[in-house]
A and B are shown apart, each in its own frame.
Chain A
Amino acid sequence: KNQVEQSPQSLIILEGKNCTLQCNYTVSPFSNLRWYKQDTGRGPVSLTIMTFSENTKSNGRYTATLDADTKQSSLHITASQLSDSASYICVVSMANQAGTALIFGKGTTLSVSS
């Protein structure tokens, strides 16, 4: 079964600290893996997208890694800010499909406190 599992479910950190979110998937055939940020009451916004051959990709203070062999990805947030408080969603895309191609994780809810 094609699934995307994220951990932890929720996380609370102090402003300025770093954190790492995890994503494990069992999706085949694999096309790419995306991380989205979803603020409360808003739609998801893309942070990174990685294909099979990419091991890491950065977007400002966000760095995503991908190990296609173990089917694991992580999202590292450096020097967290209050505005980082959101849900972070891992999404895996299946190759050669369209409508049902994206498999969404349930997300990790990050709360950054001062």
Chain B
Amino acid sequence: NAGVMQNPRHLVRRRGQEARLRCSPMKGHSHVYWYRQLPEEGLKFMVYLQKENIIDESGMPKERFSAEFPKEGPSILRIQQVVRGDSAAYFCASSPRDTTNYGYTFGSGTRLTVV
């Protein structure tokens, strides 16, 4: 079991470009969560998805950010027209079921730098 796989590990984008971050959950996990971590800050929830469904996107900015978890393939966090403030570490976690009773497994994150 390879764990939660995120790629790329590091991503550099110029202002105005698009960033695509990928997350493959652990085998058997159908729940995916995205978090953002700014320097010196705690992880902040962005979005919770199950296969083909967005369950909770209350933590995601309403503009430029979108997420999907298709029937086949990894979950994608997409940031359009990136700005310097989007520079952060983005972590994905997966779980087999409801998070209140089961611990998450985190990926190693994608560090996005906007120049």
Pair from one complex: yes
* Chain A min CB distance to B23 (Å): 11
Please name the residue on chain A nearest to B3 by beta carbon: A43
Any chain B CB within 8 A of the CB of A11? Answer: no
A98 touching B106 in the complex, CB below 8 Å, given contacts A105-B42, A106-B42, A107-B42: no
Measured between beta carbons, the chain B residues less than 8 angstroms from A31 are 100-101
Asked if residues B42 and A102 are in contact (CB atoms below 8 Å), the reply is no
Asked if residues A101 and B100 are in contact (CB atoms below 8 Å), the reply is yes
Any chain B CB within 8 A of the CB of A25? Answer: no
Spot the interface stretch: B14-22, B51-59, B68-76, B79-87: B51-59
Any chain A CB within 8 A of the CB of B99? Answer: yes
Measured between beta carbons, the chain A residues less than 8 angstroms from B6 are 43
* Chain B min CB distance to A53 (Å): 14
Asked if residues A45 and B106 are in contact (CB atoms below 8 Å), the reply is yes
Any chain B CB within 8 A of the CB of A112? Answer: no
Choice from A45, A46, A98, A106 contacting B99 with Cβ under 8 Å: A98
Choice from A42, A46, A94, A107 contacting B104 with Cβ under 8 Å: A46
